[in-house]
A and B are shown apart, each in its own frame.
Chain A
Amino acid sequence: MRRSHRSAPSFFHCMLTLVMTWTIVAAPSLHAQKSGPTENEVKSAYLYNFGKFVEWPAKATSVGEFFPICVLGDDTFGSTLETTIARESISGKKVLVKRVPKPQDALSCRILFISSSQQSRLKEILAELDNTSVLTVSDMPEFTRRGGMIQFVVEANKVRFEVNLTSAERTGLTLSSQLLKVAIDVKRSTQPGG
């Protein structure tokens, strides 16, 4: 969203530009209450943003020319995910949204959103994904405590997230300090198989 700047913008022009950007591209902001982005939109954007602050091991990065972001379980996003991030790319790779019915299908994904519907099978899913370099994200409670990597938390109408750094590092992922900085909680202790 690069703002082009002209040599002598009139006040009116500035205002127009401001309003247009505000209305059209203000999706990630939660400051806009009414016309602001929905929780799903924010979560979609965050999924995509996580990709920017995480480094995958070399074996994972060499896979294909896409950056697959997958959803496991009930798709609460609907089409939101596609509309928000479909045409983006991360590290030169095109983002690809995939829906996977079972954890085995998710092995080639970079980021896997695990729907709350999978809460009961979480242990098996995480176990399935052990030893793979897939960043696991979910909005189910206790996700990070149970071994998930990033868990969305809504606090004061604002989407925040917690990080279980140990889980992430175990799979060879490197989380940027920048990412950790904005996380509301970073867990370092693990409960394997929990």
Chain B
Amino acid sequence: MLWIRGNSIAKRLTTMNVLVSGAALLISCAAFVAYDRVSFRQTMVHNLSIQAQIAGSNSVSALFFDDPQTAEGTLSALKAAPNIISAGIYTPEGRPFAVYRRDGAAENIELPPIPSGQIEAHWFKDGQLVVVRTIVFQEKPAGTVFIRSDLQEMSHRLKRYAVIAALVLFASLIAALLVASVFQRAVAEPIVHLATIAGIVSRDKDYSVRATSTGNRDEPDILIQAFNEMLEQIQQREGALQRAQHELEQRVRERTTQLAVTNKELDLRNREVERATQMKSKFLASMSHELRTPLNAIVGFSDLLAEGTPGQLNDKQKRFVNHIKQGSAHLLQLINDILDLSKIEAGQLEMRTEEFLVKEALPEVLSTIHPLAMAKNIRVEQKVESKSLVKADRVRFKQILYNLLSNAVKFTPRGGQIKIECVDDWDFVRVSVTDSGIGIRSEDQKVIFDEFRQVEGSAGGAQEGTGLGLAITKRLVEQQGGRISLESEFGKGSRFTFSLLAVEPTSEGHAVVEPAIASVITASGRLTPLVLVVDDEGPARELLASYLEPEYRVATAESGVEALKKAQQLRPDAITLDVLMPGSNGFETLAALRKNPETANIPVIILSIVDQKQVGFALGATDYLIKPVRKPALLETIRRHVPLPADDDSSILLVDDDPKALELLEETLRAAGYETQGVRSGKRALEVLANKAVGAILLDLLMPGMDGFEVIRHVRQEATLKELPILVMTGKNLTAEEAALLSHETQGLLQKNGSWQQQLIVEVRRVIEGRKLAKSAGQS
């Protein structure tokens, strides 16, 4: 009954009802018809038998007296029975005697035999009933009667039955349907109703609808009650859930509003903080500017007084002046440190990361530290085991090392010792500075790296220092991805250790050559060059002039305009230029100088309180010194940029566009007894080489116009200069190709950062001595 399954329960009930009643009716009809058929047959046989008997006995005399007409007359009475097709009377011998036919047609009817022992027999055959009966007269057979009847009556009867059965079936089906509809109302309807409600609930998510109770306490009603209870519970939960959700949403909304308000406040505060920071930076900048201006005068003039330029001082005066000098130097350091720190904190400190050996950078720092240590009779030991390259900003690395070392010197009593160690530590290079100083209390160790924290109550009395050194050092280390730490025992000394990222050594250009024996070369005389000092302040001009005068001739200008005029007229060998001047300021003046081809090549050193080196260099400044400028620094700088004539072939040609570097080189080499000539461009270098013989070239690579590589190419093309030693000194990060080229074409490579003087001397000695040896070997 698969087809029932898909339908609704109402349809199923109806179908079942109809089927059951239909089946019952069909079976009973069939049984009834079967019974009726059997009984009807019997009746028929009985009737026909009686008719045969009557016909037979009425024909007895006719048979005896051989009167077929009479017999036929008798038989013709059978007309009254329309079902009789034919009838016949036979003589005892079986001879046809009389015949009757319904349709009158002639037909010879063969007498069917009667089973022995019976007087009558009947057959149903071909839709006909045949009855044969022996006519018995006075207990003797007098003949046989035969009657054949059709079964039309029976078939009519059956047809009638069929029609009646169909009618009854139809009527009972209708009755069944009616009953089913009643059932449906009683059973199916509540279930269908329930299904509809369930459908509504699941479709609309409406839990407020309820199924209607039938009222009778039957199973569907119980189902409906349970369903309603379930809906009730769901509705309650739904309500609770919605309330909770609503509350939650409300809360979220409130929080969001609060958050927005907080954000706004935060934003405002942030802006305020930003503005405050900017203001702080501005304040610091202008502060330092304002502080430096008077300090400039203090430092400068106390220097002059100490040197006795304006006249000899008595001992007491000298002592006072020295106090002033020391105090102002401290102040200067403090200002510089504060600026550094504020730069770091503002994130304005640029890092130029390069790879270098600690061994290379160390001498430069030590050369600065040695005099300080010597003054306190402190022994400085170094133990460099590291073979890795440090990946850091070289200048900052040296600053870190300098800060630690100067600190160590500061806090180590006379006769103490300082040890510098450097080891590879996996991916880091670890550098430690150990001193035998006063040490730091453990409670102070935590704050030692904080700003303005100086350890109180130190044994050695008042210590110099800004209190910013270690703070700056820590920040510098950490900004380069390193760590700094401190181990110390109070009274026994301290050990500062920092580590920076390391890389494996790759380039052979970093090979460090052992120092050779120095030789002394006599310096030659030179002309007195002219320096034009430009400053709007009279005292400043006077001070600068007094610094320069013994060695240089000095001309002065009060304004930019005057400076341009005098520069054109006098063609000075160098110009010192103040920036902050009324009218045309220093930068404008510089730009004008560089614009004029006649003055374009004059080295211009900016001396200013304003630290705007980038602007200065961009405009073509040769060098940039920040006021207050100390005499040695100024002199060094001027010397570096003012070319000095030389003709000895052991002189060294210095090629560098950076006047500061040039001056430093000259100063260093001269101190070591070499004669030098500095030029500031490759082109100029080639000119010099064309006119005079030199012992070696110390060459910068990055220069405007013709760069170092080009100079090397030109030099190597000249047959006479093929053997000329070239030392390259650069701040450039070399590519592998460049390193290869340089190692092939040049005799040495020096990195240009910080204190490299010692190494420079070593290198120069090596090549000069090497050349001399080669020459003497060639001569002999």
Contacts known (A5-B114, A9-B113, A52-B64); A25 close to B138, Cβ less than 8 A: no
Q: Do B64 and A5 have beta carbons less than 8 Å apart?
A: no
What are the residues of chain B within 8 A of A22 when measuring CB–CB?
Answer: 93, 95
For A176, give its contact among B61, B91, B92, B141 (CB under 8 Å).
Answer: B61
Q: Do B61 and A179 have beta carbons less than 8 Å apart?
A: yes
- B294 CB within 8 Å of chain A: no
- A87 CB within 8 Å of chain B: no
For B93, give its contact among A3, A4, A42, A158 (CB under 8 Å).
Answer: A3
Chain A 41-84 against B: per-residue CB contact (8 Å), 1 yes, 0 no? 01000100100110000000000000000000000000000000
Closest-by-CB residue of A relative to B118 is A5
Q: Give the interface size class of chain A.
A: 20 to 34
Q: Do A182 and B65 have beta carbons less than 8 Å apart?
A: yes
Q: Do A181 and B62 have beta carbons less than 8 Å apart?
A: yes
What would 18 A/B residue contacts be, using CB atoms closer than 8 Å?
A1-B141, A2-B141, A5-B113, A5-B114, A5-B115, A6-B116, A9-B113, A17-B94, A18-B93, A21-B93, A22-B93, A42-B66, A49-B64, A53-B64, A176-B61, A178-B61, A182-B64, A182-B67
When chains A and B are docked, how far (Å) is the Cα of A4 from the Cα of B117?
Answer: 9
Contacts known (A5-B116, A26-B93); A182 close to B138, Cβ less than 8 A: no
Q: Do A46 and B65 have beta carbons less than 8 Å apart?
A: yes
Closest-by-CB residue of B relative to A28 is B66
- B124 CB within 8 Å of chain A: no
For B116, give its contact among A4, A18, A26, A91 (CB under 8 Å).
Answer: A4
Q: Do B60 and A178 have beta carbons less than 8 Å apart?
A: yes
What are the residues of chain A within 8 A of B70 when measuring CB–CB?
Answer: 181-182
What are the residues of chain B within 8 A of A179 when measuring CB–CB?
Answer: 61, 65
When chains A and B are docked, how far (Å) is the Cα of A165 from the Cα of B365?
Answer: 189
- B137 CB within 8 Å of chain A: yes
When chains A and B are docked, how far (Å) is the Cα of A3 from the Cα of B142?
Answer: 11
Which residues from chain B sit less than 8 Å from chain A, CB to CB?
A: 58, 60-62, 64-67, 70, 91-95, 113-116, 137-138, 141
Chain A, range 1-48, C-beta contacts under 8 Å to B: 1-6, 9, 17-18, 21-22, 25-26, 28-31, 42, 46
For B94, give its contact among A21, A30, A42 (CB under 8 Å).
Answer: A21
Which residues from chain A sit less than 8 Å from chain B, CB to CB?
A: 1-6, 9, 17-18, 21-22, 25-26, 28-31, 42, 46, 49, 52-53, 91, 158, 161, 176, 178-179, 181-182
B591 to chain A, nearest CB (A): 156
Closest-by-CB residue of A relative to B65 is A182
A-B residue pairs, 5 tightest by C-beta? A178-B61, A21-B93, A182-B65, A182-B67, A49-B64
When chains A and B are docked, how far (Å) is the Cα of A4 from the Cα of B95?
Answer: 15
What are the residues of chain B within 8 A of A161 when measuring CB–CB?
Answer: 65
Closest-by-CB residue of A relative to B74 is A181
When chains A and B are docked, how far (Å) is the Cα of A145 from the Cα of B93?
Answer: 37
When chains A and B are docked, how far (Å) is the Cα of A70 from the Cα of B91?
Answer: 28
Q: 10 new A-B pairs (CB below 8 Å) besides A42-B66, A181-B70, A182-B64?
A: A2-B92, A3-B94, A4-B116, A18-B94, A21-B94, A28-B66, A91-B138, A182-B61, A182-B67, A182-B70
Closest-by-CB residue of A relative to B134 is A2
When chains A and B are docked, how far (Å) is the Cα of A30 from the Cα of B97?
Answer: 12
Closest-by-CB residue of B relative to A24 is B93
What are the residues of chain A within 8 A of B95 when measuring CB–CB?
Answer: 22, 29
When chains A and B are docked, how far (Å) is the Cα of A3 from the Cα of B137?
Answer: 15
What are the residues of chain A within 8 A of B65 when measuring CB–CB?
Answer: 46, 49, 161, 179, 182
Among A30, A46, A52, find the residue whose CB has the most chain B CB atoms closer than 10 A: A52
